[in-house]
A and B are shown apart, each in its own frame.
Chain A
Amino acid sequence: MSGFTNLNSSVGYSQNSTPNGGAAPPYQNGPVQTYPAMYPPAGYYGAPPQQQGYSTIPGHAAPAPNKAPVTNNAHSANYYHNNHQQQQNHLPQHHVAPSPYSAPLSSAPPSQPYAALPSAAPPPTNAHYNQQPFQPHPPYATPGSYYGQQSYHPSSARQHPSLVPVTASGPGAPLYPIVSYPSAPGSSQYGTLSSSQSTSAPVGMPTQMVGAPLHQYSAAPPPSTTAVQPGYGVGPPGQTAPTVVNGQGSAAQNAVHQHYTQSHQASLSYDSYSGVPPGSGGADTDQPPSGTPSTSVHSSPGHHQGVQYGYVANSGASSASATTSGPAAAAAAAAAAAAPSSSSSDDDDEEEDEDEEAGGDTSSSTTGSASPVPNSYDSLEGGSYPDSMPPSNDMTNQAAPYGSYGYPSMQSAYQQGPASHTDASPSHDLYGQSGYQQYSQPFPNLSQLSAALGGLSGVPELEVEALRPVNLLQERNLLPPRPLEAPEPNVSSDLKKVNCSPQTFRCTLTSIPQTQALLNKARLPLGLLLHPFRDLQQLPVITSNTIVRCRSCRTYINPFVTFLDQRRWKCNLCYRVNDVPDEFMYNPVTRSYGEPHKRPEVQNATVEFIASSDYMLRPPQPAVYLFVLDVSHNAVEAGYLKYFCESLLENLTKLPGDVRTRVGFLTFDSTIHFYNLQEGLSQPQMLVVSDIDDVFIPSHDSLMVNLKESKELVKDLLTSLPEMFSQTRETHSALGPALQAAYKLMSPTGGRITVFQTQLPTLGVGALQAREDPNQRSSAKGVQHLGPATDFYKKLALDCSGQQIGVDLFLLSSQYADLASLACMSKYSAGSVFYYPSFHYIHNPAQLEKFQKDLERYLTRKIGFEAVMRIRCTKGLSIHTFHGNFFVRSTDLLSLANVNPDSAFAVQMSVEDSLADSSLACFQAALLYTSSRGKRRIRVHTLCLPVVNQLSDVYAGADVQAITCLLANMAIDRSVSSSLSDARDALVNAVVDLVSAYKSNVSNLQQSGLVVPASMRLFPLYILALLKQKALRTGTSTRLDERVFAMCEFKTQPLQQLMRLVHPDLYRLDNMSDQGALHLNDTVVPQPHLLHLSAERLSRDGAFLMDCSNVFYLWIGKCCNEMFIRDVLGCPNYASIPPNMSHIPELETPLSERVRAFLDWLQDNRAFSCTIHVVKDDASAKATLFQHLVEDQSEVASSYRDFLQHIQQQISK
């Protein structure tokens, strides 16, 4: 070992190569982190002490040393081989990380994922070997690290073979703690073996192990080369296979007209992929997993020389962001390459998107975009190297970027028969729904009636009603009897029929003002609210060889284009005239020819295309899930781990994915624990990395495992995990390093990282301080610290986003945990944030239940990977700002590493040029994603709205809910970037502004009072409700984290949910009648009327239900009808209702059935199931209910009447 240590310390290279890895990894990591250079030796070796502690297990020590010597030998011999690292030992995997780092991304990854899947351990090594062949192409090596962090270039320092020997002999620091914690998790022993070996010591040790390692090494190189060859050879077939498959598949589809033909293709292609690895892999590496368990951490205290060298290398590496792992890529080469690479990598990313979105162009785009190494890429394209997925961020093609940008000429292959398939039912569920709702509605008052009529038939009524001036000071009953529906755009009934569902796509102004001047005059924001990946019951899925798009603006063909004649169509966004491809002339639904306007694309505003390989930059990746779990003392106290494991165990088979799905686990407290779940092990192995300053991945192929193959191990782990840490006393939390490790684990494939955190991160990078001053919680002055304290999480999220990794955060903290900083990790990587304040498994059953329900939904909901969403709009309109969780790639393109069905987006628009030359404005959102089954799909939503030039028309089409939501989003931005009071003032001003604008421009009545158009009559109420929200309220004690979480919710919740959060629905349940009830299947769903949110609407003799989106409150008045209490709650009388009742018993009484039917109906199209709380009149929980009664006065906030008075004063001022 001593030799080893020396190597490590002295030469970065050697380190990498050393199977022990312990030493090497850190360095490698170091570069990645960019911290490496700075590290004082102490830092590196600082770790050892801990390890030593671990090392207490003597047994392990011995083996480690052996390895060391081996490596030495190997080192000198295989210089370059080392780069590619094979890690026969687990340690070797480290290799991967280091030099290879680059490799993994670019060349290695491809091989890895695919190869690795089938045969777990061995393949990876092979993969690395495979690289060697590529080495000739230096570019390959470059991983496209986003920020360039990843690159580890073996700088010259590393390659000092000479050093190696020297160091070996040298007395270096003998602490070689190989921390192998092979101990099975189940047993919960962490055996950390620190084998501290002095150079002198090694002799004995080496011999032991030597056999194996040497063997590996010596054997390895040759195999590698050979292996490579095979890999190559194999590759072509594989590659061709997929392509061929596609062709065939499509052909087949044509013939058969199967809807989902693609699945076939997919499976085929996967097979081919999988096939490759075994072949190549087998030869190289059959290595006994024995090596694996040991994770070596460095601890060699001092090798001065070595250290210096190492540093140099590191610094070099860090500076050079991209790795070149050229074969001969000497340090010099690396250095040279580095600079360009860094800059270029980003380009590539961008290109990638472009390509993805640009689609149509086949070869040109792909080539342009991806290949770092032209040669390799070509080969890839040619089909020779199937496995390699083009690294998303490759460099080298700076030149190419724009090549792809141009719009590719149409492909010639239209001759192919129409392959498109559509689902049989083109109709939207939505329409169906709305239809029946209207039908069933009681139409209680005139306005409702006319509105409904307007929706059904005529515009005039609708407009007249919407424009009816409403004097807010006089009319008191503003709420419609049923929750507000989105206003219908005033377009012809044909268009109305096909228009996009308002639940998916909604505009704040359903009549678009013609000019910016008109828009300004209206004083209303123009924007879109999108819920693009919503769960749909019916969705036409189209498989077609050619996806018809406008050649100029790349708009997908949609119901609102015009067909000039049979062969030409005019784009509705840019007005360019395009040809109709031959294939499009055939209609697969009717099987007729010559009716392009009957195609499903043209009949549905929401369609999904199965995309061809033109829309991918690398083969679709498997679904990869990594769970990062906090196991510090605090977490154990809160007790979430058990419930998480239970939930995951239950839903393990329901995780979206296919046979390739991979999972991994990582736990952390002050150290980071990895779990080796390699198939074939008898039980999971825990690998502990205690060097959090310089995190490395102890093993590359066995940490993220195929779920199907390692299911038993995963189950074992989940069963034993809760007990494993039950005695922990570790209170620190090294979240930042854990995230870095997670990022490294995931970067080759992308996927989803789920982080569970229970406290403020206290160690390593990303450590945070408590910033909240509890005394300021109710301060009416500014609220501080709404923004992040550090940009670490943001940078990490951007890196993740670049590697197509989404990070979701579950925060279960009872203390302040600085969500404002932590949330950044999800915000910019398109993740989601869940927060459970004061979570405790015993003391807070309500939170626990919510956590369990959320988790179930979270684990089983759909997911899309590697997504981008582009929003196009009619010429003249432009996008101003986006709101939501994503990274904005360009002016109209969002990069979404993950997309989930529960997140929504908002977009602010502006009118740049006059829209006078068109009567319709259209918006198209195209979401390109990889489904969990590995198919590339494009979901396209198109919304069509009329353009108007009258202010009154603009008002008539205003959608008050959408406007409120958009303003809420803007207000959140404002309060973060400026201050809360600014945002609140601006919201109030928005109301003042609207009222005065309406007064001066439209209303001719010289009425006194507050007059607004009927369409906007709820606006002041909603704004007031907004001001009383947790996110924006002042004066009421609000914990900072809860406030920040409320803000996150505002940014990501879909409109319906958000509106219920802002303005909950209140119903009276005890006297429901069947008037207007819905009859669904066999159940009768009563439809009680909405009530104003005011205590005066509550009566002591009633039972009221408040629907707050994610929670229901059932308020039981003191004198409530005993029959209701008995029949619905199953309690004899009011007094016997338990205080914390949180469910409605299933009783056989008609009343109970009605109530439950109504509750179920309310929950029906909600993603996360709601918890219900029964609130008694006298219970302390009453306070939680009453805070939602927004029309009432509270200690600090004014009532609705007062608010209106205030507005009026402002206007008359």
Chain B
Amino acid sequence: MAFTFAAFCYMLALLLTAALIFFAIWHIIAFDELKTDYKNPIDQCNTLNPLVLPEYLIHFFFCVMFFCAAEWLTLCLNLPLLAYHVWRYVISNFLHPINYETPAGSLEPAFLALGCRYMSRPVMSCPGLYDPTTIMNADILAYCQKEGWCKLAFYLLSFFYYLYGYVFHFRICPSC
């Protein structure tokens, strides 16, 4: 029993997270390029959109693995991101959670509640989240950049966590 299923999960997650880190970096670079005018939004969206679902699925996949391995703590750590993915891709079409109720006295001017909030998935005939016609909107650009950095941080931390988890599960097995 040198190699438990949990250890296998951690190892797998380790590798996949490395991939996700690359995704996140790619994402950040892509939006940075957009912001600095280096790229055409149509081009950029065409390259980014196909990556959205794979990223979500990879994450979902090792969440399922952890579920099977009964690694509840790890699963819990990942649940928020999983929920976010589901919201981002599916639910935000129907809800409009970013609803700026700005009564007098709040920090933001009320008119900011106007303008578009394209946080939901636009009408598209192909998978993906990014619409070249709205991606250049400063709000969305900023949001996507922020999203990229947050994910990168999350994946990096979880990478080390999985590394630890892997070693831990490898070591505690009696035969070692």
Contacts and interface: CB of A to CB of B under 8 A. Distances in A.
A794 B41 CA distance: 14
A973 B138 contact: no
B107 interface: yes
B138 A879 contact: yes
A343 B110 contact: no
Main secondary structure of the interface of B (DSSP, over half): loop
Contacts of B133: 794, 798, 828, 887-888
A890 B37 contact: yes
A880 B139 contact: yes
B96 A791 contact: no
Q: Which of B104, B107, B136 has the most CB atoms of chain A within a 10 A radius of its CB?
A: B104
A665 to B, nearest CB: 30
A145 to B, nearest CB: 11
B109 interface: yes
B138 A880 contact: yes
Interface residues of B, number: 42
Contacts of B139: 880-881
A993 B141 CA distance: 27
B76 interface: no
B4 interface: no
A1202 B105 CA distance: 23
A798 B115 CA distance: 22
Contact of B137 (A522, A802, A881): A881
Q: Considering residues B35, B113, B117, which has the most beta carbons from chain A within 10 angstroms of its beta carbon?
A: B113
B138 A878 contact: yes
B39 interface: yes
A1170 B38 CA distance: 45
B108 A970 contact: no
The residue in A146, A350, A878 that gathers the most chain B C-beta atoms within 10 A of its C-beta is A350
A888 B140 CA distance: 13
A788 B111 contact: no
Contacts of A973: 114-116
Contact of B109 (A520, A892, A979): A520
A983 B141 CA distance: 22
A982 interface: yes
Interface string A984-1015: 01110110110011000000000000000000
Interface size class of A (residues with CB under 8 A): 35 or more
A910 B136 CA distance: 15
B23 to A, nearest CB: 18
A989 B116 CA distance: 16
A891 B35 contact: yes
A821 B34 CA distance: 27
A970 B42 contact: no
Given A146-B42, A798-B132, A973-B114, A978 B37 contact: no
A237 B60 CA distance: 63
Contacts of A523: 109-111
Contacts of B118: 977
Given A989-B102, A1210-B104, A889 B113 contact: no
A978 B122 contact: no
Contacts of A983: 114
Contacts of A788: 123
A401 B36 CA distance: 13
A981 to B, nearest CB: 11
Contacts of B102: 986, 989, 993
Interface centre among A794, A828, A1210 (most CB of B within 10 A): A794
B38 A791 contact: no
Nearest to B126: A791
A787 B93 CA distance: 12
B115 A908 contact: yes
Contact of B46 (A346, A522, A887, A992): A346
Contacts of B137: 880-881, 888
Given A878-B138, A970-B115, A974-B116, A401 B38 contact: yes
B38 to A, nearest CB: 7
Nearest to A789: B123
Nearest to A978: B96
Interface in B133-157: 133, 136-139, 141
A841 interface: no
B100 interface: yes
Contacts of A345: 43
Interface of A is mostly: helix
Contacts of B132: 798, 887
Contacts of A977: 116-118, 120
A978 B99 contact: yes
B141 to A, nearest CB: 8
A178 interface: no
B143 to A, nearest CB: 13
Contacts of A401: 38
A725 interface: no
Interface in A940-992: 967, 970-971, 973-974, 976-979, 982-983, 985-987, 989-990, 992
A789 B124 CA distance: 9
B125 A347 contact: no
Given A789-B123, A879-B138, A881-B138, A350 B40 contact: yes
Determine which residue in B35, B114, B118 has the highest number of CB atoms from chain A within 10 A of its CB, and name it.
B114
A402 interface: yes
A575 interface: no
Interface in A639-672: none
A25 interface: no
B14 to A, nearest CB: 31
Contacts of B100: 986
B174 interface: no
A888 B136 contact: yes
Interface string B72-101: 000000000000000000000000100110
A928 B11 CA distance: 56
A790 B125 contact: yes
B113 A974 contact: yes
Given A405-B38, A977-B116, A982-B99, A993 B104 contact: yes
Interface string A786-801: 0111111011001000
Contacts of A908: 115
Contacts of A889: 40-41, 136
Contacts of A892: 37
B46 A525 contact: no
A1105 to B, nearest CB: 33
Nearest to B120: A977
A563 interface: no
Contacts of A346: 39-40, 42-44, 46
A332 B39 CA distance: 29
A234 interface: no
Contacts of B39: 346-347, 350
Given A347-B39, A888-B41, A520 B107 contact: yes
A787 B138 CA distance: 21
A349 B111 contact: no
B81 to A, nearest CB: 25
A802 B42 contact: yes
A683 to B, nearest CB: 42
A325 B125 CA distance: 29
Nearest to A1211: B104
Contact of B114 (A349, A890, A967): A967
Contacts of B110: 523, 986, 989-990, 992-993
A347 B99 contact: no
A147 interface: yes
Given A879-B138, A986-B100, A996 B116 contact: no
Contact of B43 (A350, A787, A791): A350
13 contacts: A147-B46, A346-B39, A401-B38, A794-B133, A882-B136, A887-B132, A888-B41, A891-B136, A973-B114, A973-B115, A989-B102, A989-B113, A997-B104
Given A350-B37, A794-B133, A1210-B104, 7 more contacts: A343-B46, A345-B43, A350-B38, A787-B123, A882-B136, A891-B37, A989-B110
Q: Closest 7 A-B residue pairs measured CB to CB?
A: A346-B43, A970-B114, A989-B110, A973-B116, A993-B110, A986-B113, A350-B40
